[in-house]
Amino acid sequence: MHVLFLDNTDMVEASVKKLGEHLIQISGAEVNLSGFHLLNDAGIVFGKYDGFKTLYKENEDSYILSNDGSVYVEPVEPEPMPVPEPTLDEVKEAKVAEMNKAQQDAIQSGVDVTLSNGSVEHFSLTDHDQTSLVGLQTQVTSGEENIPWHTSDETKHCKFYSNADMAKITATAMAFVTWHITYFRDLRIYIRSLESKEEVGRVTYGTGIPEAYQSEPLKAMLAQKS
């Protein structure tokens, strides 16, 4: 396209694109703020843009002129909203939720049981497994032999266990579950008694619980472990 800037007598070749009523983009020519006309191949003017004398914005390979004095203003990124500081109670409840998940993970990971022949087998304790064990306790009490265990692990076959072994499995598993439930309940009370976020932050699953926050069942279990 032939462009004649008003401070020059020679035409230049450039690309001109109207972006709006007050904005025109010019590519392929040096920045000129004198206004300009567009000419056809015969040199006849077919567009007059005398008022486009303000540099609105300069790009790498083009620039934009305005005819109303406006210039481009880089948008300002809004300030991020401040994240409210959690209260001590909120920190405590977040820690309780974290410890509850740790308790559930510990239980479901299961427990090792030493059987009557001296071998050690691992038994997962998902919700399904725990429900099954409750039912198996009845079979143990009734004196049944060859009691089947249906593990929740779909890659393993069902297996028969003797009455003595199933008694060990159910007793060990139930004691394991009871320990974690009791420990977590006392740990929860202890966490909610703490007076600073720093104290709460130092709590992990397995943290020792001060005696003042230990229930009688937990004390008895700890005594058995020692």
Domain tally for the chain?
2
Written as tens digits, the pLDDT of the chain (226 aa) is 899 999 988 999 999 999 999 999 999 999 999 999 999 988 899 999 999 999 999 999 999 999 999 999 999 999 999 989 999 999 999 999 999 999 999 999 999 999 999 999 888 898 888 888 888 888 998 888 889 887 666 777 888 999 999 999 999 999 999 999 999 999 999 999 999 999 999 999 999 999 999 999 999 999 988 7
Instruction: Let me know if residue 79 belongs to a domain.
Output: no
In 3D, which of 53, 180, 43, 179 has the Cα closest to residue 104?
180
**DSSP code for 25:** E
Residue 28: name the closest of 41, 7, 13, 38 by CA.
13
Angle (CA) 51-57-63 rounded to 5° is 75
- 23 lies in which domain range? 2-66
pLDDT score of 54: 96
Q: Quick one: pLDDT at residue 98?
A: 98
Residue with tokens 């472990």: 225
Domain identity same for 17 and 105:
no
27 found inside a domain: yes
CA triplet 19, 25, 28: central angle to 5 degrees?
150
